[in-house]
Structure 1
Amino acid sequence: MFEIIRKKRNVKSNLIEDFAGYMFMMPTILVLGTFVVLPILWAVFLSLHKVQLLGSIEYQFVGLRNFTRLIEDERVWIALKNTVEYVAIVVPSQTVLALILAVTLNSGIRGKNWWRVLYFLPTVTSSAVLTLIFMWIYNTNGLLNDFLAFIGLPTYNWLGDPAVALKGIMLMNIWSTAPFYMVIYLAALQDIPRSLYEAASLDGANDWQQFIHITIPILKPVTFFVVTMGVIGTFQLFDQSYIFSNGTGGPNNATLTVVLLIYQAVFRNLQMGYAAAIAFLLAAVIVVVTLIQRQFFGGEKI
């Protein structure tokens, strides 16, 4: 009898604890459900329908037609190519630059606090403002062409030449985003025990050998985080491309990105279903690239 009563009390206690746990989780569940799960389900619904926005809103089921249209749409492949090229150049460049800046600031140079502030200024500046400033720099009669002419190098039509338009956005974003990741690297560098470097010095390792065999391996989890965040951010390139091309993705689709294409599908062509299909294509590419990075950097050890 007492054993049965004890078991009932344990069951009741467990139910109360479970209920309390779910109550503590409820705010997070509501936020994730409202802003993550429901939008994803709604996007799935839209991708399977043709949406009529003019007049009364109507939904016509078209199955996988929006996804098959992706294969036939040349602009999708141009946008994907531009975005992949942008990611492949910007992410490694900003990562290496951020690490170099962090190591430099961590080396005990004079006035390092002022240098930190100076380096970090582009990160806290509005992306739209930075883009307008660089448009002025890239202008045919702008500062960059004046400098190139002064040192005897050929000038470019940075805003109008399809061969260099995307490169101009790359340069701007490498310069403006590297300081953010520099701060992350700097925090990680300051957590590395000095005793490791002292022991390596006693064994005869020079600064370069210490950097390769101590700093780089210890920073591997941080590098995985930096590269992952960089890939996700660069795949979502929109505002700079929009401002540079006035929303067209020009010249000659040279600055057309996947997110800009989604914007055009929704707000110019009123094709919400097709835009949702493009968004799922972008999400799939980001997931695949992130998984590849995880294998390369050993992200499972974080």
Structure 2
Amino acid sequence: MAKPHHKSKLRDLMAGYSFMSPAIVILGCFLLLPIAYSIFLSFHRVNLLGTVSYKFTGTANFERMLDDPRLWIALRNTFKYALIVVPSQTLLAIVLASILNMKLRYRNFFRVAFYLPTVTSSAVLVLIFMWIYNSNGLLNFMLEAVGLPTYNWLGDPSVALLGIMIMNIWSTAPLFMVIYLAALQDIPETLYEAAEIDGASGWQKFWRITLPQLKPVTFYVIVMGIIGTFQLFDQSYIFSAGSGGPNNATLTMVLLIYQYAFKSLDMGYASALAFLLAVVIMLITVVQRLIFKEERLN
């Protein structure tokens, strides 16, 4: 009796893996193997010109990070970017979702209008904002029209990164707004009705009911926001023409990795930097997981 049961179990197991095999092959080829190869490169000095060669250097690439001033600039810019953009876009998404969840007139139109920046190409958005920030662009034109002095928004290191932040908040918040909007519609109306019977104000209902119910979604939004901000590349690349300027003001971790990998052809050190970035993102995610303990519920 045990053998037929064992054969049936084995047959079911093989059938399951056969159905999963396409996904396993794709993930293995395009996710696991590149990760393993990148870790391998981080311990080598790689020569890609002429005959490809690998020279094992141990932890030399990781030790080199300590004396790389551009790495610390990129880390500072990336952390600064994340600390401002993630809370701002999360708060804006909650506010927009709460407004559009009300029974307003033409709310479907506003939902579509607010979501449009998300479906627009990132490169196109950057070019539009570069035109706005240009010395002869829309922003300076408006300042000049009301008698205020104009400014070199793209050339000043103190405001160049801020310009990218504003653009990213404006274009990313609508995506999270849709996620929050779906979560708001899942909150039972009976909770608000019971709170209203108890005499709760609108702010009390929002603070005591809405926000706690949105904690799992907020955890997801913040994690995705952190990952997205730490992977900032295209906006910074287009804004600075790949240099990270002015004066390294828009240099981010991914742009620095790109420069070492494809401009300096230093694949070993670039892979080590990519490994460092992955570790930083994972550590931040773990910390957020500990903060949002309620996310494990339901």
TM-score of Structure 1 vs Structure 2, range by shorter chain:
over 0.9
Identify which of 292, 296, 301 aligns with 2:297.
301
Write the mapping of 1:1-302 to structure 2, written as runs, cut at 5 A.
Answer: 6-151=1-146, 154-298=149-293, 299-301=295-297
Amino acid at match of 1:129: V
CA offset at residue 193 of structure 1? Answer: 1.2
Q: How many residues align structurally?
A: 297
Q: Aligned equivalents of 2:224 and 2:92: distance in 1?
A: 15
Query: Structure 1: 5+ residue runs without aligned partners?
Result: 1-5
Kindly provide the CA deviation profile for residues 111-150 of structure 1, in whole angstroms up to 9, marking residues without a partner as x. Answer: 1111011101110001000000000100122211233344
- Whole-Å Cα distance in 1 between the matches of residues 233 and 281 of structure 2? 15
Which AA in structure 1 matches 2:296? E
CA distance in 2, matches of 1:73, 1:86: 20
SS in 2 for 1:192: coil
- What amino acid maps onto 2:58 in structure 1? G
CA distance in 2, matches of 1:220, 1:253: 37
Using a 3 Å threshold, how does the CA distance of structure 1 residues 154 and 301 change in structure 2: closer, same or farther? farther
> TM-score of the superposition, structure 1-length normalised?
0.95
Deviation at 1:301, TM superposition (A): 2.9
Measured in 2, the distance between the counterparts of 1:16 and 1:220 equals: 42
CA RMSD of aligned residues (A): 1.2
The 1-side partners of 2:47 and 2:83 are apart by 37
Shift of 1:250: 0.3
Identity fraction in percent: 64
SS in 2 for 1:164: helix
Deviation at 1:152, TM superposition (A): 5.5
CA distance in 1, matches of 2:107, 2:116: 14
TM-score, with length taken from structure 2: 0.97
1:156: how far off?
2.8
> Secondary structure at the residue paired with 2:22?
helix
| Offset, 1:154 | 5.0
Instruction: Show CA shifts across 1:241-286 (max 9, x none).
Output: 0000000000000000000001101111000111100001110110
